[in-house]
Homo-oligomer: A and B are copies of this chain.
Amino acid sequence: MREHGGNLDLAQQRFGGRAEDWIDLSTGINRLPYPVGEVSARAWGALPSRAEIESLHQAARHAYRTNAAVVAMGGAQAAIQLLPQLAPRGRARILAPTYNEYAGVLSAAGWDLQEVAEIDELAGADLAIVVNPNNPDGRCFAPNDLLALLPRVGRLVVDESFAEAVPQLSLAPKADHPALLILRSFGKFYGLAGLRLGFAIGNAADIGKLTSMSGPWPVSGAAIAVGCRALRDDAWAEATSARLGRDCVRLDAMAQAQGWTLVGGTPLFRLYETPDALAAQEKLACGQIWSRVFAQRPRWLRLGLPGSESEWTRLAEVLAR
């Protein structure tokens, strides 16, 4: 298995404690989640009906401001797993560094893979991958620059897993283009990664293929029920975006006081340059706060945002040691 945030068992093995004792900042999952509320007996017990799945798709179109075709899946990851089968094997280019599952899944499927540093270098690819804003460095790409790339690639996949609080970056409204496919994660912004919900948004042909490959019941009844409510709750989304913006400023200030430099980030996580990321991770872990480091980048430390005030307090205390 590839290296990921959220690997709390590793933290527990090395530093002890129960999962619930830890503040897990190793991911970009919002720690003040959308309230799950009551899940009905029917949602637990019954196979989701076509009408229920279509309601979820409508809610996603509302939240992502698009009229394009949509398919719900078990997280953006489930869509990534299917990418190699969306078209005949060919040349894939990935704007890197980024989320490592793209390279992993495509190379396992025998694609010819190249990681590039600039958008222009994606031209000529059968399959081009951009995460916008990017994980882990928060790099952002202008929608027009991505649109300009479309005639020069077979298919452009834009992973907008961290785009909720920066909707002006999203290409979801233009996803009905024959060369564009947008992936969205539900669990990160809504703080419900355990629900396993994400979406692919695109042209009818691509979404038809992904729908067929995902089978008739790709997501759970709970994901449909909670997703339908959350994706239509504009007030919660606006308040959460505003709160995340304030919290980024607060975390950046704490990091700066440690002598860490902001490399970049999204409203859901921040990436800092530190003198020694492993040492910083260990310091935090001794206070049972888990963070993300990167084998290839020994000075990079990625931190999600604390949730409750008591989590902020504990982070401040641990950093002050």
Residues of A whose CB lies within 8 Å of any CB of B are 1-2, 4-9, 12, 19-20, 24, 27, 29, 31, 33, 36, 39-52, 74-75, 77-78, 80-81, 85, 101, 105, 108, 187, 191-196, 212-223
Contact = CB atoms under 8 A, between A and B. Distances in A.
Given A6-B49, A44-B33, A46-B8, A77 B192 contact: no
Nearest to A20: B42
Contacts of A47: 4-6, 27, 29, 187, 193-194
Contacts of A52: 9
Nearest to A196: B220
A74 B77 contact: no
Copies of the chain in the assembly: 2
A192 B191 CA distance: 24
A191 B45 CA distance: 6
Given A215-B101, A220-B195, A222-B220, A24 B1 contact: no
Contact of A220 (B213, B218, B220): B220
Contacts of A187: 47
Nearest to A35: B44
Contacts of A6: 46-47, 49
Contacts of A196: 74, 217, 219-221
B45 A193 contact: yes
Contacts of A108: 212
Given A20-B42, A46-B29, A194 B214 contact: no
B49 A8 contact: yes
A194 B44 contact: yes
B51 A81 contact: no
